[in-house]
């Protein structure tokens, strides 16, 4: 993804598009650093996080805004490995273009353990390159890793470094005992739902959690939408669709 350019001179291709030849070493990222900074979302709050609720919850559902160290999907469809066509935006996607991202030390500062009951569960989304960080984060929040509770097949691939990636994992962490009384125990681990907007998770996962623990207090962290029957916390919480309604929003 970080294709290096050795910047010695400029030239144009047969279409008149500006190209850089290999010369003094520079990365493709640095060419677009100003554009990257302008497109990146920033947290405008005085504090790192909004205030967490004072009440406690049995079920915590989280989709942390993982920081990818500036890594972006890189479009080199019309160029060779040695040159980059600067007439178009070569960086076509980045998580930080969609929402403010956070590094692991910053995520650890969120005191999730303060809103968790003694017997509670944490359902956490983790991208494949960040599994080790997700487990470390769950521990920092006061939970013990137990299993991969859901596997989401997005039905469309992402270009990966080693192969084509289709799935994202939801991990389960436990604090104390499993909350009781329990509901359904036959929800399926594999969920096959086409991917929609960037970072939007399938509603089927939240519905499965509700069926598993229908009688417990639930909160979604880093929420984008307020789900019925849930409290919601995050920078961007909003009701967005007819079948979603605002509950408690922090």
pLDDT at 140: 97
Say what percent of the chain tops pLDDT 90. Answer: 46
Q: Is 81 left (phi over 0), alpha (psi -120 to 50) or beta?
A: alpha
Say what percent of the chain tops pLDDT 70. Answer: 61
Q: Residue 121 and residue 134: Cα distance in Å, rounded?
A: 15
Instruction: Label residue 19 by pLDDT band (50, 70, 90).
Output: very low
DSSP reduced 3-state for 54 = coil
Picking from 26-30, 47-51, 203-207, 232-236, which range would have the lowest pLDDT averaged per residue? 26-30
Q: Residue 137 and residue 23: Cα distance in Å, rounded?
A: 42
Q: What is the mean pLDDT of residues 48-56?
A: 85
Q: Residue 109 and residue 77: Cα distance in Å, rounded?
A: 40
159 or 152: whose pLDDT is higher? 152
Q: Is the pLDDT of residue 152 over 90?
A: yes
Q: Which two tokens stand for residue 62?
A: 């989280």
Q: What is the mean pLDDT of residues 52-66?
A: 94
Count, residues in the chain: 250
Enumerate the β-bridge partners of residue 24.
Answer: 7
pLDDT at 141: 97
pLDDT at 1: 38
Q: What is the mean pLDDT of residues 168-186?
A: 97
Integer angstrom CA distances of residue 72 from 33, 40, 48, 92, 112: 12, 11, 24, 7, 29
Instruction: Label residue 20 by pLDDT band (50, 70, 90).
Output: very low
pLDDT at 181: 96
DSSP reduced 3-state for 155 = strand
Q: Is the pLDDT of residue 50 over 60?
A: yes
Mean pLDDT computed over every residue of the chain:
76
Q: Is the pLDDT of residue 157 over 60?
A: yes
Instruction: Label residue 248 by pLDDT band (50, 70, 90).
Output: low
SS3 content of the chain, % helix, strand, coil (to 5): 20, 30, 50
Instruction: Label residue 160 by pLDDT band (50, 70, 90).
Output: confident
DSSP reduced 3-state for 147 = strand
Please write the tens of the pLDDT for every residue from 62-101: 999 887 654 444 444 444 445 555 555 555 444 444 557 7
Q: How many CB atoms lie within 10 A of CB 179?
A: 21
Q: Domains of the chain (ranges plus CATH)?
A: 57-67+102-233 (3.40.50.150)
């Amino acid at each position: 993804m970080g294709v290096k350019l050795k910047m010695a001179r400029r030239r144009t291709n047969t279409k008149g598009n500006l190209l850089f030849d290999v010369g003094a070493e520079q990365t493709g990222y640095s060419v677009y650093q100003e554009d990257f900074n302008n497109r990146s979302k920033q947290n405008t709050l005085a504090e790192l996080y909004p205030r967490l609720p004072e009440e406690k919850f049995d079920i915590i559902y989280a989709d942390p805004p993982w920081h990818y160290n500036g890594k972006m999907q890189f479009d080199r469809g019309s160029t060779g490995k040695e040159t980059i066509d600067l007439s178009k935006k070569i960086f076509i996607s980045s998580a930080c273009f969609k929402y403010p991202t956070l590094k692991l030390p910053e995520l650890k500062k969120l005191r999730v353990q303060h809103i968790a009951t003694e017997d509670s569960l944490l359902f956490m989304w983790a991208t494949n390159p960040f599994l080790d960080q997700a487990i470390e984060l769950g521990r920092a929040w006061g939970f013990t890793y137990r299993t991969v509770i859901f596997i989401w097949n997005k039905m469309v691939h992402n270009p990966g470094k080693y192969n084509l990636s289709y799935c994202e994992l939801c991990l389960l962490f436990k604090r104390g005992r499993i909350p009781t009384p329990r509901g359904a125990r036959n929800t399926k681990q594999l969920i096959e739902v086409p991917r929609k907007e960037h970072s939007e998770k399938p509603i089927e996962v939240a519905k499965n959690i509700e069926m598993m623990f229908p009688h417990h207090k639930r909160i979604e962290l880093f929420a984008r939408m307020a789900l019925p029957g849930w409290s919601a916390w995050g920078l961007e919480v909003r009701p967005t669709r007819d079948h979603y309604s605002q509950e408690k929003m922090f």
